Amino acid sequence: MLVFNKKVDLVAHLKAISTQETSIGLVPTMGALHQGHLSLLEESIRNNDITVVSIFVNPTQFNNSEDLLNYPRTQENDIEKIKTVSENIILYAPTVEDVYEEKTVSQHFDFDGLENQMEGKFRPGISTE
């Protein structure tokens, strides 16, 4: 399994091993992988020439800094789980600096109340109301 921590290195590798006809599947995750993630990896392998899984705990997705600090980071365990699916999966596990280039800023969107439905109604602080 190849592991990349910098997007420039991942992009260079993908350019080197692919053509315009090569299909690349991406399974984006925040880690703490479970069977649902693994089934997405299996599906990507069936439908693509190359599969990349990302593990990135995105700080802009958390409205509560304590939730961010407590989010499980289990990369070594996640790697072992990925290997049970295939050794040929490419892992992209960037740092916050690599993704945001030291400009970590959240964007806010108006969802016209949709953010208060389903899980949103149980996540105080996310609502724009």
37 in active site: yes
Q: Which residues contact 41 (CB under 8 A, 6 or more apart)?
A: 27, 51, 53, 82, 85, 86, 89
> At a CB cut-off of 8 Å and minimum separation 6, what does 40 contact?
27
Rounded to the nearest 10 degrees, the angle between the axes of helix 75-85 and helix 35-47 is: 40
Q: Of the residues 13, 34, 37, 108, which is catalytic?
A: 37
Tokens of 64: 């509560």
How far, in whole angstroms, is CA 36 from its chain's centroid?
14
Annotated catalytic residues are: 37
